[in-house]
Amino acid sequence: SFDEDGNMKDWAIGVGSSDGGGPNGQLVDVFGEGQVGTRAFTKSNPFQVYDRVVYFGRLPSEGEGPLEHNWSISTAGISLDSGGDPNPNGKNRNAGEVNLGDEVPSVLRPAGIFPVKGELTSENGLACTAEGWVEFAGGNPLISVASGVAAIVGGIGLIGLLFNARPATTWKA
């Protein structure tokens, strides 16, 4: 996560179960104001989302990626966004960037911590599920204080933007 000046503010890395991340894998905090070296995306150590988020993912490490896959993102049982891709070439890597600064002025962004869950399933059996907490930093705290319901709805919209309004590149290694 980067702020509007391009300064890195938070960074986490995923360690899959096949790479020593335990039976379910885990996300580890490697930079920022959080608890570096500990589990990231927890309520006590949420991932800090500022202006821009850069991401990279793979499934699996080698070989064919998820074919005819579907994914979804939700918070508090409410669907935020979903999609899918036939991925006929079996690409197993994805990277991209989300720039919230281009989409939503900071005065309209809520400040606060929100639960998120992401799932991906595919017809060739590759799957991924992740749950955690993100904190929208640098937003307007009055939105959260003045109207809790409006902040939740705004957070849902921002999370939807985070995963929907992005350029992405996918490839096979």
**What pLDDT digit, counting tens, does each position of 58-88 carry?**
888 889 999 999 988 776 677 766 788 999 9
The mean pLDDT value for 114-122 works out to 88
Which of 75-84, 121-130, 144-153 is predicted most confidently? 121-130
Q: How many percent of the chain have pLDDT more than 90?
A: 22
pLDDT of 146: 44
Q: Could you tell me which residues come within 8 angstroms of residue 146 by beta carbon, excluding any fewer than 6 positions away? A: none
- Cα(7)–Cα(140) distance, rounded to whole angstroms? 20
- Cα(84)–Cα(70) distance, rounded to whole angstroms? 4
In sign, the C-alpha dihedral spanning 81, 86, 91, 97 is negative
Does residue 51 contact residue 101 with C-beta atoms inside 8 Å?
yes
The mean pLDDT value for 139-163 works out to 60
Amino acid at 30: V
For residue 70, what are the β-bridge partners? Answer: 84, 121
pLDDT grade for 89, boundaries at 50, 70 and 90: very high
Does residue 1 contact residue 8 with C-beta atoms inside 8 Å?
yes
3-state secondary structure of 23: coil
pLDDT grade for 145, boundaries at 50, 70 and 90: very low
Q: Could you tell me which residues come within 8 angstroms of residue 123 by beta carbon, excluding any fewer than 6 positions away? A: 67, 68, 69
Q: Residue 86 is encoded by which pair of tokens?
A: 């036939």
Q: Are strands 26-32 and 112-121 parallel, antiparallel or unpaired?
A: unpaired
